[in-house]
Structure 1
């Protein structure tokens, strides 16, 4: 840019009203080299200070990225000699391939003989000699690599001046990147245009200043006029609705990188209305624009982000982490795969499950990035229902900071991010979202590695690279990293015992479980929140088996076993990969690749989440154990097969322990509490506390069963909170009992062997050896393993919380999970899409291969729609707890009354049994015997039996008396009726009944 131009950019009527002074190569014959244009700043005006031409008769052969048949198509229209604009006569019509194909008129991309000229050719109003001095010529760029491309002039300012001058983009503040590298070198503009597709009639084009002149005269800033849209005719692309939609100037003005007209991926968003299922995506001629660049791009990594109704904060957190990882790939200058062109090898695909379910602010965030625009989605294309709305854009807006209620965007030192946003019309659940990524988009992009990320999960800065590096081993089919619990700023969420317990659980799993499984080559579950797969390994049986859950969902077939098994479909996929026939795929754990994920902070959310996890993992484990023989059909070595069988044996033992965990924990509780109740323990309150805790334990178990059968955790939050709190108190007492027992046992042994004491004598005490030693060794291994991985902090900050909540893990979570194996929660059958978007259809105004569609087409509509969307985020309100509707509230209430009735009924009956038989520990108060055996007291039993028998007899007698009374009354009535008949007969009257 010339020195006279101000640093903040030029005030210009259009993005590139004066784009295209392109300097011709010195070696190009017969074409004069043109000097640079010097612009002076004026409001909505750019004045050409100096410009000199050498006239030339040389014709232009078209843009470098055009296909030859496009030039032939231009020739058919009578434009065989598209002269340079400065060479044309004043009365001639100017239509160059650049204007005809790279600008507003995209409908000539089709070879249809019915060509409609939606863009009227410029006349004298726009190209009169008097105006030529005011506008520099638009000269096609013949050699874009010779000199630095002119930076894009500022756009015409037609929006709110505050928006144009402020660094704020709606509620998102454009700020410096907190993590920016001051040595960062911005990427060069590649001028690698993709093949233009279908921009509708009278569409705003930043490179067509004729449009700018018209809109300046007709512009009206009122909301009533801005919202008005009219029907346009567009040509279908391969029978589908595919549009290139200009990006708003409000967004383009934020970019600091030099762009040219051929950098269409930054200037246009592509929209596709997909009318087929994922498996038919390619068959129905849908595609992605990575395949249409003049220099086709190969995709090394596809990052799939699945979302439902998560907030914009969670989405921004995930995107920020992914963007930072792509930036790291960009910085690997010495890598054979990555480096300055790394961003072209990564595609970020966001799949949202349900158009009406997506959080409005999350959709607005995607709009702020440029990968979404309102007004283009339609319910139908002719008679075909639209299944998903697909948006594609390469954004240069980064996310610099994500706080609890604030998101900061930045355009400083940002690299481009290729994004695909798939907005599914209806809610079809997560497995269907993965079907869109793996069955629809992956066959088009053909990535080497597919990374699966859930919204709310934020990968660390180098996590994606470290995961990708694991696939250097050609045997690796899948890999996962460490999932860390997101603890908030300054780890404040550790104050929540539930979050702290989950933090400890995640850490121990990543220290003991995952590394062990990785050694065997079979990681039982690569978490869907953050994992990666080799796409070629997925093809065939593993992908078919994985997506079978989608078919089961649609037909509700397969039985309860398969339905629960596919609640943990990622476990099925892992097994199928390792057991893939004639292959030797392995799964790997990469502990250095970490990602942070949100964990439930509320108890009811935690219980609901674990219900799906426990049921899914239980049935998936049974599936893998019953199909372990498939390993012998693989190409694994014999030693590997033996290792896998050892792992299957370990899984079987683990499954048995989990199955009997409920009873095992009760036995441990009973042994410890009864020990303190024995006289030899010399603990006075032990007798009372033993019975007290026993009754509360049984009451809590019964209550949990009843609530699990009939209530949702969301409707009985307080009951579950009380139960979990009781189990935590119970755990404290059990820990005390264990320590007390250990001390007493050691004292006893030392007293008995005062002269010949040795350590091995401690292990002769049965209860001490079986309970204390086994338990303490387990926790000691936790400490040792944590120090080996140089990550012991969770043992300090989270161990106690996990210890106190472990009884709830065993009792509450397992009971609720098994009591709800019937609850598959597909929840989508019969869901209909709303007809609120309109229809793109053939009409009387269209010709063959065309559609009539109502969409925003003017600059003011596009700009105002963008500003309106980002202003959705202006008011940041605190997230309120989801309130249940009236119908749900009534359902919760009725279920609560039912459960309380059942509980009162069960408890009162148990009290009667306990009082009569002195069971449930009551013998400990009345029996003088120190024996632990129970007995039935004859006196109370006799009294009870006598009372109950006389009550039963009385009730039988009462009913017998009633029966006899009934018969007597019936006999009396018969005599009365007989007497009445006789009286009438004596009088000669007829009697009838």
Structure 2
């Protein structure tokens, strides 16, 4: 039995241990004093240049490497596995079990697909615990603030699960063998890429002891370093220790930390999660979170409940919300505000509508969940997971472009789930599950992010439409198949209009601005202004093509900024013209074109306002609609042009390296049976010193030097030529088709588009078609979201 003790006695003991820890730190000359009241890692008095105390890099104690000392280690199934006591200075709110007093290190020497075959195991398997929820947190080089924000949010969610008395979870839901429990898996993409202060956070939590890691074991290269520990306290985003102050403020959390030796991208991190660890734990629900995403206090429960209530739910996602900071200060950045509006409208109209149909085009990898059994492949190795990981092994001319769409592996996974042969899986959106995430705050970062999204989504949409016949072979009812086919038809129309988005926006700009040239507006000289603005618009589009073909956003910041500013100014003039036309429409409502324009605007923007009010979430209309309008031509022009011009950039992973690092040491030679001899680098005092140094670095937060970018030569020029050729073909077709559309439509009398005559020109007919299309799609989105909202009201 675990000895937890009385809560009041434990809290008193925490204070005593924090006080002694502070005295020991001061006695050793260490400047990292802990805040006795809150356990803060933040200095009581900030350092300054005028301060007489130390300022600058944290002092590091010299650690003597004991090369002569040897230790015999018993192998576990032939693998190097060590159970290491946690530092003596680590405060343990709960004691009495090895999973909290010892951390386990395993040097994995195989591919993730071979993990179970090579008899690697996990603590939960040995303890015979039933895993209900398996959470993976993927990260690359994010800093300690983002890491702690995400992990602390997850731990608060686990505490909420254990606080639900009338539930299958219960107080011991985190570990009870007969009840469902949660395991948190953290996968870091590359040992040399992880942020140093994140390593300090992991040391401070007692999860890892870096000195125990080895590069090689008995001649085999270590592919991943796996740590297993159950932590009973947390670190918040301010790097403050958070201990259990009440029964369910923080509960013990089973953490599995996988530090990959080499950088192999996020898709490989998910392969470790799904193919290495999940087959051993056999979870019911798998939840995917990116570092930087902070789930709401009850979000994980709401996601899990979607699977608990409906047995045919294969995947679900929550609302991805923009992290706005304290007092919503992040919205002062117009780029962040525009993304906030975009995210909100997607979560109010698009995601609920798709959920009502049963097929969500993409479950965001930053915050989504899947039923594990739904992901499984068939006996021949074909299925959702096989398709999900297929992109990791694709290369150049060995595949065609429509197979290369696996860059958008999350979209492919969604399609494969609902089209799985003989199954009737559906995907759901859970409005109550909110996950806040950081969005790009600078233009180059934003353009780079959307390049990946747009290219992946475009080709994934083509893939889904091309393989729509798989839906007919699924186990869905005929009614569900009809609904899904209707949704695919709707998606087809959207793909076509997305293809012509740049041309249509230019046509709309020219028609709308030219309409005020009509003498009835009594605007002298406006025709000259319109001619200048239209040439400026066309010239900026051409400039964007030239920028995108030869310049990275980070290398041409001002060029892209100037283009964004020009588009924003032109948008202001377009809005002025739209207001003038709207006023004229109210005065001459009987004019066919004016009346249709008013109805289209009411259907579009009216659906935005009505849906936001019905979902009781209208604040983005007040805070972010203006910035979104100014950035709308940037979303359509700059992002699409850069994405299509860089279609050849399919980064499936990093180049394989032939060198083997030996900086961590190696495990050599079997002595007798399953016993090996390893060098002992540190003793218990050194482990405690390393722990204190980690706390000090988290407090001082010295600047981390940025590594110099490495240039890699291309091994196979044929691969580069192949994707460059595909890029040229698609870009040529896209640019010419949009230009041809603009020339055909604008060849008529543009000025007379909104006159009172009933004579229909090509321009008038096309404008009428566009207005009708926008109105119909807005009505479909609004109707679908209302169906979702009604279902949510009645089913909870």
TM-score over 0.5 for the pair: yes
1:539-554 to structure 2, matched below 5 A, reads 539-540=376-377, 541-552=383-394
Quick one: structure 1 residues 410 and 175, their matched pair in 2 at CA, closer, same or farther if it must change by over 3 Å? Answer: farther
Tell me how far 1:377 sits from its aligned partner. 1.4
CA distance 1:612–1:335, shift in 2 (3 Å): same
Matching residue of 2:182:
346
Q: Which residue of 2 aligns with 1:240?
A: 79
User: How much does 1:744 deviate?
Assistant: 3.1
TM alignment of 1:161-180, pairs within 5 A: 161-163=23-25, 176=38
Q: 1:856 to 1:411 in 2, by over 3 A?
A: farther
Which residue of the partner structure matches residue 399 of structure 2?
558
CA contact (8 A) 1:172 1:407 kept: no
Q: Within 5 A, what are the aligned runs for 1:581-980?
A: 581-747=421-587, 749=588, 762-766=589-593, 768-832=594-658, 835-843=661-669, 846-877=671-702
Q: Does 2:365 align with 1:511?
A: no
Judged with a 3 Å threshold, the aligned counterparts in structure 2 of structure 1 residues 686 and 146 are, in CA distance, closer, same or farther, namely closer
Aligned length: 681
Instruction: Structure 2 unaligned segments of length 5 or more: list them.
Output: 41-58, 378-382, 713-745, 751-760, 762-796
Partner residue of 1:477?
A: 314
Q: How far 1:657 moved relative to its partner?
A: 1.0
Deviation at 1:551, TM superposition (A): 1.9
Deviations 1:228-250 (A, max 9, x none): 45332212211111110110011
Would the aligned equivalents of 2:214 and 2:667 in 1 still touch at CA under 8 Å?
no
CA contact (8 A) 2:174 2:254 kept: no
Q: 1: CA distance between counterparts of 2:119 and 2:523? A: 80
Q: Deviations over 1:136-188 (max 9, x none)?
A: xxxxxxx889999998999999988343899x99588676499xxxxxxxxxx
Distance 1:171 1:547, change over 3 A: farther
Is the contact between residue 333 and residue 340 of structure 1 (CA under 8 Å) also seen in structure 2? no
Secondary structure of 1:522's aligned partner: coil
TM-score by length of 2: 0.80
TM-aligned CA distance change 1:247 to 1:174, over 3 Å: farther
Query: Quick one: which of 488, 509, 523 aligns to 2:325?
Result: 488
Secondary structure class of the residue paired with 1:249:
coil
Match of 2:217 in 1: 381
Instruction: Name which of 303, 306, 323 aligns with 2:155.
Output: 323
Aligned to 2:118: 284
Whether the 8 Å CA contact 1:318–1:459 is kept in 2: the answer is: yes
1:267 matches 2:101 = yes
Q: Distance in 1 between matches of 2:370 and 2:100?
A: 30
Q: 2-side partners of 1:322 and 1:622: how far apart? A: 36
Residues 656 and 421 from structure 1, CA distance in 2 versus in 1: closer, same or farther, beyond 3 angstroms?
A: same
Q: How far apart are the structure 1 equivalents of 2:339 and 2:356?
A: 25
- Cα drift, residue 711 of structure 1: 1.1
TM-score by length of 1: 0.65
Task: Tell me, yes or no, if the aligned pair for 2:93 and 2:232 is still in contact at 8 Å.
Answer: no
Could you say which residue in structure 2 is the equivalent of 1:358? 194
Using the TM superposition, give the Cα deviation of residue 308 of structure 1 relative to its aligned residue in structure 2, in angstroms.
0.3
1-structure distance, mates of 2:21, 2:507: 73
CA distance in structure 2 between the aligned counterparts of 1:583 and 1:647, rounded to whole angstroms: 19
Name the CA distance, whole Å, in 2 between partners of 1:162 and 1:490: 39
Residues 1:300 and 2:94 are matched in the alignment: no
Whole-angstrom distance in 2 between the partners of 1:705 and 1:144: 66
Structure having greater relative contact order (Cα 8 Å, sep ≥ 6): 2
Further displaced range: 803-812 or 678-687: 678-687
Separation of aligned partners in 2, 1:156 and 1:613: 48
CA distance in 1, matches of 2:174, 2:579: 59
Q: Distance in 2 between matches of 1:779 and 1:854?
A: 69
- Name the SS of the counterpart of 1:841 in structure 2: strand
Task: Provide closer, same or farther for how the CA distance between residues 156 and 330 of structure 1 changes in structure 2, counting only shifts above 3 A.
Answer: closer
Residues 570 and 827 of structure 1, relative CA distance in 2, 3 Å threshold? closer
Task: Tell me the distance in 2 between the aligned counterparts of 1:171 and 1:388.
Answer: 34
On the 8 A contact 1:382/1:839 being kept in 2, the answer is no
Deviations 1:410-458 (A, max 9, x none): 2233311100110001110001000000000101111110000000000
Deviation at 1:773, TM superposition (A): 3.5
**Preserved contact between residue 731 and residue 807 of structure 1 (Cα < 8 Å):** yes
Inter-partner Cα distance in structure 2 for 1:146 and 1:733: 68
Deviations 1:173-218 (A, max 9, x none): 676499xxxxxxxxxxxxxxxxxxxxxxxxxxxxxxxxxxxxxxxx
In the TM superposition, what are the counterparts of 1:387-426 in structure 2 within 5 Å? Answer: 387-399=223-235, 401-402=236-237, 406-413=238-245, 414-426=250-262
**Residue in 2 that maps onto 1:110:** none
Shift of the 425–557 alpha-carbon distance from structure 1 to 2, 3 Å rule, reads farther
Q: Structure 1 residues 222, 513: CA separation in 2 closer, same or farther (over 3 Å shift)?
A: closer
Match runs of 1:423-462 below 5 Å: 423-462=259-298
Alignment of 1:200-239 (within 5 A): 223-224=61-62, 226-228=64-66, 230-239=69-78
Gaps of 5+ in 1: 1-142, 179-220, 750-761, 889-919, 925-932, 934-993
Tell me how far apart the structure 2 counterparts of residues 522 and 827 of structure 1 sit (CA, whole Å). Answer: 29
Tell me if structure 1 keeps the 8 A contact 2:22–2:34. no
- Which secondary structure state, in structure 2, belongs to the residue aligned with residue 533 of structure 1? strand
What whole-Å deviation, never above 9, does each CA across 1:808-842 have from its counterpart, x for those lacking one? 11100011111111001235113356514344333
Secondary structure of the residue aligned to 2:130 is coil
Secondary structure of 1:243's aligned partner:
strand
TM-fit CA distance, 1:341: 2.8
What is the rounded CA distance, in whole Å, between the counterparts of 1:145 and 1:348 in structure 2? 24
Aligned 8 A contact 1:174 1:410 in 2: no
